[in-house]
Structure 1
Amino acid sequence: MTEYQTLLFEQAGALARITLNRPQAANGMNHTMTRELADAAARCDTPGTKVVVITGAGRFFCAGGDLKDFADAPGRGRHIKAVADDLHRAISTFARMDAVVITAVNGTAAGAGFSLAVTGDLVLAAESASFTMAYTKVGLSPDGSASYFLPRLIGIAKTKELMLTNRVMSAELASHWGLVTEVVADDQLASRADELAQTMAATAAGSNGGVKSLLMHTFGNGLEEQMELEGRLIAARAESADGREGVDAFLAKRTPDFA
């Protein structure tokens, strides 16, 4: 267990767990939390980590930025920019690492908490979880990659609705809109996250990283450029130890033993 002030971090073999741990402040993000989250993300960006589970302690996943912390800081704009920079560094690392990132949304995800929740490669939500942007409600604007990922997940029109009206979405509605992979009973969220994490831990990390990389580039590439990227990646995977093991195991009708 690595000691942080605002997070719980645990690495067990190929699985890393990050718990936002400011329950007395609804897991609100202050500069300490985003700085520690960026550090924890970097710790997970290693060949030995195949899965990262992110969740919150207590009743909230994350209520967004800690507005009291922001209000008390000298140089408010400069302070918030530093908080956002570290959050963005964490999200960039999570998005580009080979490890599959599972967000287990245990309660309200608001503002930057909403932004973080939907960056998961797989998003699990408790039935009682809710999602709201909430930025314009306090005179701010979105951060945490919301303006990048939300239009790609649900389109511009629905993104504008969420950002401008601060609509509160239930977990079921978020799933219907395509923001959530799976909704589970509140008392089953942790066990379902563990089950999914164990499943992902048995897969090939390089293949998962290839999927993430391909999808990250798909909206910026033309058809031929994207197909060239596909060709180069699948060729590299075929030459890798996991690629050889996967093909050999399939032909031998056995379960592959990926590194």
Structure 2
Amino acid sequence: MSTYIQKEIENGVAWLRLNRPEVFNSFNREMALLFQSELDQCEADQNIRAIVITGNGKAFCAGQDLKEVTSPELNPGFRKILEEHYNPIIRRIRAINKPIIAAVNGVAAGAGANIALACDIVIAVEGAAFIQAFSKIGLVPDSAGTFFLPRLIGFQKASALMMLGDKVSAEEAERLGMVYKVVSQDSFSETIKEISSTLAMMPTKALGYTKQLLNASMENTLEEQLSMESKLQIASAQTEDYAEGVAAFVEKRKPKFKGN
């Protein structure tokens, strides 16, 4: 059994660790397909209410393993790499109705950077960096980078970063709005645990509906968005967690959400 993705489940949180540290957690075909399978299992498991994606070793993810694409025997070709590896990964990250945290523990480059940016919450350690490395080798950004990055930081800045391939420090990424928070190395692991545990104890259906609304807001008109908000607010009001939240507020106690 491959160990390219290590999964741990603790207190309702699934930790998915990219585990090819010797190549900075770059993706080959086996790792990409396994990652999709693990995401599917996290979506199906009702006991999992939040997901953390991080890397082992010094890097978060360096994107595509270039040794694979330059090997006559191993190269799956760019059509397969995009249509069977990265595009399905991005679709899963956005479609799973559970919060997903990218815990960026080091360099996130190429597809690795864009996988992180597709997550719901991005937390980076001091010293981490983000690089749109594609232009350096004559490629265009993929893995939805051209979709998310301009929306996060603006068209002009995204255009420059993608064309020039500049390295963006974690601190600069936070200033630009690429990441939610930068934390020190000493507190990184504990911060990720605290935030993911908090999310796992929140009303999971409402968080999932929120994610659906954010996805739709990328393309909807104002009227379409208002209509969708109404529909999902009504659905939220029919959940057990809503009833618990209101009861807890009235009784002046902490709610105990179950994700139902």
Cα distance in structure 2, aligned partners of 1:186 and 1:12: 21
What per-residue deviation string (whole Å, max 9, x for no partner) do you get for residues 139-197 of structure 1? 11111111111111112111111110000011000000000100011222111101111
Cα distance in structure 1, aligned partners of 2:128 and 2:53: 15
Cα distance in structure 1, aligned partners of 2:218 and 2:103: 27
User: Match of 2:197?
Assistant: 198
Pair 1:229-2:228 in alignment = yes
Q: Which amino acid aligns with 2:226?
A: M
Cα distance in structure 2, aligned partners of 1:159 and 1:101: 23
User: Match of 1:24?
Assistant: 22
User: Match of 2:175?
Assistant: 176
Q: Structure 1 regions of 5+ residues with no counterpart?
A: none
Q: Which amino acid aligns with 1:7?
A: I
Pair 1:128-2:132 in alignment = no
> Normalization by structure 1: what TM-score?
0.94
User: Match of 2:6?
Assistant: 8
User: Match of 1:243?
Assistant: 242
- Return closer, same or farther for 1:73/1:246 CA change in 2, 3 Å cut-off: farther
User: Match of 2:69?
Assistant: 70
Count of residue correspondences: 256
Q: Which amino acid aligns with 1:16?
A: A
What per-residue deviation string (whole Å, max 9, x for no partner) do you get for residues 27-85 of structure 1? 11111111111111111113332110111110111111100111004595x53332323
Q: Which amino acid aligns with 1:130?
A: A
Q: Which residue, 27, 31, 43 being the options, matches 2:41?
A: 43
Cα distance in structure 2, aligned partners of 1:257 and 1:130: 38
Q: Which amino acid aligns with 1:92?
A: R
Cα distance in structure 2, aligned partners of 1:75 and 1:109: 24
Pairwise CA distance, 1:13? 4.3
Cα distance in structure 1, aligned partners of 2:72 and 2:187: 39
User: Match of 1:56?
Assistant: 55
Pairwise CA distance, 1:257? 1.1
User: Residue 101 of structure 1 contacts residue 121 of structure 1 at CA under 8 Å; is this kept in 2?
Assistant: yes
User: Match of 1:216?
Assistant: 215
Q: Structure 2 regions of 5+ residues with no counterpart?
A: none
Q: Secondary structure at the match of 1:256?
A: coil
Q: Secondary structure at the match of 1:194?
A: helix
Cα distance in structure 1, aligned partners of 2:136 and 2:205: 41
- Return closer, same or farther for 1:75/1:243 CA change in 2, 3 Å cut-off: same
> Normalization by structure 2: what TM-score?
0.94
Percentage identity across aligned positions?
Answer: 36
Q: Which amino acid aligns with 2:24?
A: A
User: Residue 61 of structure 1 contacts residue 109 of structure 1 at CA under 8 Å; is this kept in 2?
Assistant: yes
Cα distance in structure 1, aligned partners of 2:220 and 2:142: 24
Cα distance in structure 2, aligned partners of 1:132 and 1:239: 43
Q: Which amino acid aligns with 2:32?
A: T
User: Residue 37 of structure 1 contacts residue 87 of structure 1 at CA under 8 Å; is this kept in 2?
Assistant: no
Pairwise CA distance, 1:96? 1.7
User: Match of 1:103?
Assistant: 102
* Deviates most, 212-221 or 88-97: 88-97
Q: Which amino acid aligns with 2:196?
A: A
Q: Secondary structure at the match of 2:54?
A: strand
Pairwise CA distance, 1:127? 0.6
